[in-house]
Every structure is written in C-alpha cells, then in structure tokens.
Amino acid sequence: MKESKIEYEELMSGIDESLDNYIGEVSPNFKATIEDIRQNNERVLSQLLKTYYLSSMLVDDFDFPSDEVYQGIKVLFSKAGFSTLGIYSCLSNGVITEASSLLRTLFETKVNIHLLLQDDTLNRLSLYNNFKTITKHNHLQSYEKKMADGELSEESFEAFFHDIDIQSLKDSYESIKDDYHPTYPANHWAWKIYKDERNQPPNMRFICDKLGLSDDYRKIFGLHSSTIHSNPIIENMMTHDGNLSIVPFNSENILRLACISLDISWKSIVSVISYFDENYGEGLSKYSDYVFVQGCVEF
C-alpha cells in the first residue's frame, strides 16, 4: 500500500533521529581512536602523504615525453600516486584491511612498471597500451553473447557501446590479437614476453619470479593475507554481544603497512623518473632514503 506523505516524513524523521542518537553515542570513541592513530603514526603518515604530493607534482611538472607510446607509463605512474593517497587515507582512519588491499594494488603497479622498463621497453609499452583494445573486445564478446542468449536487450547493448565504433574495435583487435594468449587474450598483457616459457598467461607470482621480486611478492601477499585474516581484526569487528561492528582500528600493522607502502611507492617513482632523466632519478633516490628514515626510523 502506498504510504502517505505524512507517513513518509515520519519514517525519515525517525531514521534521522536514530542515526543522530547513534552518532552521539559512538562519536567520542571514534574520534579518540582516529586521533590516537594519527598521533602514534604521525611521522610515517606525513611522509606517505608527502610522497603522494611528490607524485602529483611530477605528473604536473616533469617533462614526460609527449609520444603516445609512453602513455602507459604515465598512467601507471599516476595510478601508483593515487594508490599511495588511498593507503594514507585508509591508515589515517584505521581502515587497515582496505589499506592492505591498496598496498597489493600498488605492488602490482610497481611490478608492471618494472616489467615495462626492464628491457625492450618500447615494444612492451605497445603490448601494454594495446591491451586496452583486447579488454574492450573481450567485453564486447561477452555482451554480444548475452544479447544472443536473450539475457540482454538490444537497447541495453546499444547503451553500453553507443560511443564505440564496433567495427573499428573488431578490426583493431584482429590486427593485434596474435600478441596475446590465443585462448585467454584478456588475462594478461605480457603473455608474448614469456610465451616460449609458459603456455598459460603469466600470473603475478610467475612474473615476480622472473623479475627477481619473489621475496617482495611473498612479503606483500603474505602481509595482505595476515591482515585480512588476523584474529585481532576480526575480534575488533565484534561487539560485546557478538554482533559485527564497523569501527576504526589502531594496530601496529599501520606502521608496517605505511613503511612498506613508502618503499614501493618510492621505487616506482625513482624507476620511472630515472628512465627518462638519470640524474634527476639519482637525486630522487637519495631523497627517498631521507624520507624513509624520517618516516620509518622505528620500523
């Protein structure tokens, strides 16, 4: 039965009142926890934020080549900066599991940068840049199948692809598809690099092994797993009566996550800038040591 305007307003008012009462109850402890987190980790959190600002400054001011082939590097460089900001924002508010997920993303970005700059950079950049076409074509095939199976209307299909020249996309795909896995082309952009060593598309562990980053892989993914599944975090999400709760969490893992994030973020910055300007990259490398000491002297 359709509710009246008065009933609707009473419902909204009731929810507002309940929410305001709840905020009044939890806000003092919430604010105290956040303040404690920021005071205890002020040094490392400030350096993490400063690192994001440096990334932003370099995106704005550094003379990256204008050639389109380098677009992938600039995108990854920017992505690393955004991940760093996200980690800072999460850790500053005691949101540790999400910070750990962003750290994993930051590490994967760093691995892609390392792989691109390791050798044969221009050809690898072409593989990386063209991978956008592969993923778009993969989505196109998926939606075409849904439409053929009656799971998607023609109107919805056209809404999804109204700004894409479908024939041009298919032509572009045909011209580059041999550079990607024949069965799972959208699985990973780097298949061609390792196709003589591995029949399946490369996964993150395999690539890290090839790049000499196995220890980093184990450290990052091990930390992510322990952060997600650690008992203190699960216990912290439980109220005294056994119900789930969403609250900020102060933990020694904040320092650990922040320092590892600083290390990965700076390695990404230095490797990219050094590729284009060796002297500037060397200066940034020295500065990164200074930043790490300032933020992670206790780590």
Round to whole Å and give the CA distance between 288 and 282: 10
How crowded is residue 291: how many other Cβ atoms within 10 Å of its Cβ?
Answer: 20
- Whether residue 191 contacts residue 181, with contact meaning beta carbons closer than 8 Å, is answered with yes
How crowded is residue 230: how many other Cβ atoms within 10 Å of its Cβ?
Answer: 15
Number of H helices and E strands in the chain, helices first, is: 13, 0
Round to whole Å and give the CA distance between 111 and 86: 19
pLDDT tens, the chain, 299 aa long:
466 888 899 999 999 999 999 889 888 888 888 999 999 999 999 999 999 999 999 999 999 999 999 999 999 999 999 999 999 999 999 998 899 999 999 999 999 999 999 999 999 999 999 999 999 999 999 999 999 999 999 999 999 898 899 999 999 999 999 999 999 999 999 999 999 998 899 999 999 999 999 999 999 988 766 665 554 444 444 444 555 556 666 678 899 999 999 999 999 999 999 999 999 999 999 999 998 888 887 55
How crowded is residue 23: how many other Cβ atoms within 10 Å of its Cβ?
Answer: 10
Round to whole Å and give the CA distance between 157 and 147: 7
Round to whole Å and give the CA distance between 75 and 128: 11
In this structure, which amino acid lies at residue 147?
Answer: M
Round to whole Å and give the CA distance between 139 and 164: 12
**C-alpha dihedral, 82 to 223 to 206 to 84, nearest 10°:** 10
Round to whole Å and give the CA distance between 115 and 155: 41
Q: Which residues contact 267 (CB under 8 A, 6 or more apart)?
A: 110, 288
Round to whole Å and give the CA distance between 191 and 184: 10
pLDDT at 247: 62
Nearest Cα residue to 193 out of 201, 182, 185, 204: 201
- Whether residue 58 contacts residue 64, with contact meaning beta carbons closer than 8 Å, is answered with no
Q: Is 251 exposed, middle or buried (0-12, 13-18, 19+ CB in 10 A)?
A: middle
Q: Which residues contact 145 (CB under 8 A, 6 or more apart)?
A: none
Round to whole Å and give the CA distance between 1 and 132: 49
Q: Which residues contact 68 (CB under 8 A, 6 or more apart)?
A: 129
Residue whose entry in the numeric block shows the structure tokens 């390792």: 194
